[in-house]
Amino acid sequence: MNKNITLEYNDIIKLIPHRHPFLMIDKIENLEENKKAIGIKMVSINEEYFKGHFPEYPVMPGVLIVEAMAQTAACLVSYSNKDYQGKKIVFLTGVDEAKFKKPIIPGNSVSLEVSFLNSRKNFFKFSGKAIVKNQVMAIANFSAMLTV
């Protein structure tokens, strides 16, 4: 019923407080309220972190892959709950079972598939996958907390 919701940059910045250079997602696709969303990250050699990670073999840091998943989840929570928009922030509180299977490099278009697992009060649990060309590059379960 509300499948295939797409959020562009201007929609994303209304939902989460992240801005350049720390906004890790460019677009949200296939958002299903309170269920799942796919964040899109277009990885460019111009990303600041590539200057030091690693200049001779640039690889997107694993922690930033998880951050991109978390930002996708934050958009999912904020979009699904209109009362939170502009009033609440979703903070990452934990990461479990993260695995990095293949490196993400400049030129990759990364799909960050995030699914809502459960919630209790202001705490949420998610599972996420980073996918490039139908190959799973990283997976993680993570939790977040809603704050003022």
Annotated catalytic, 20?
A: no
Of the candidates 148, 102, 96, 87, the one whose C-alpha atom is nearest the C-alpha of residue 122 is 148
Rounded-to-integer distance, Cα 65 and Cα 108, Å: 12
Query: Token pair for residue 76?
Result: 């999912």
Helix (H), strand (E) at residue 90: strand 89-100
What is the 8-class DSSP label of residue 106? T
Determine the 3-state secondary structure of 133 from DSSP: coil
Omega before 50 cis (within 30°)?
Answer: no
Residue with tokens 């079972």: 97
> Which one from 53, 95, 103, 131 is the annotated catalytic residue?
53
Catalytic residues: 53
